[in-house]
Structure 1
């Protein structure tokens, strides 16, 4: 953890964090905002495969949500990563992602991380390609959901980034 992050605590999210995660996602300006209800459910049902960074006051300032894929139990799908604007640019997203994958790898084998990124989201692309480099893993990319898959209007394609095999998952 960097000195800038010394005042932060990494934890599993709880239901009481759902509203804050929704706000951070909304304020990100890049993430697809899901219903507030979905963030509450995520904090209840997927807390074990998600992480939150808390400031000194205990409030969330960043998060990573994910789940272990049922059909690929050694793969973590990262759904969303977001950091409050007051904590951006300090490596917090990378630290959250590293900490989450180390925690999951300590509980059971983790050989791959997947996420989807729209072509215009260069910050996420940098986050995940630097994660792959830190963990000695290759990155493959393929369109998972084309623009015409989305029924609710214009949406950029979602490109699947598959990172693995992870050779250093607990850095």
Structure 2
């Protein structure tokens, strides 16, 4: 049963994938469980960076760099500025739920066991993946030939959303 794990961890790529996946899952769990907003943003940045590491391990360098630049950089900084510009009350206390953490632990352990068993019992066919030499060039070709209309529509949508956010922020000031 544990032979598959030994085979999985015999490769350096698989170990890097496993470590990045653990950091991504851990950062997501911390994001949901922290109570201070700054700690949430930092754990979210950890999740974004570990996802970029996963993309690099999977040989999607362009997507990994975009993940670092857009998500880990820009969105995290934007959220920190949003935190600094808003007021937070520290006097609110969560209601006490003594069984909550225990039930969460039992549920998480059960889910982990089910997923572990399903992965160990599955037969995954081994195949060869042939990646292109320069995947950034191939993404650019596809983006500006076949998918140019959705690309432009997405830029218009983001611009409209940004203008809408500014209008809503101006209304709240008044």
Higher strand share: 1
TM-score of the superposition, structure 1-length normalised?
Answer: 0.21
Instruction: Specify the structure having the higher radius of gyration (Cα).
Output: 2
Higher helix share: 2
Higher relative contact order (CA 8 A, sep 6+): 1
TM-score of the superposition, structure 2-length normalised?
Answer: 0.21
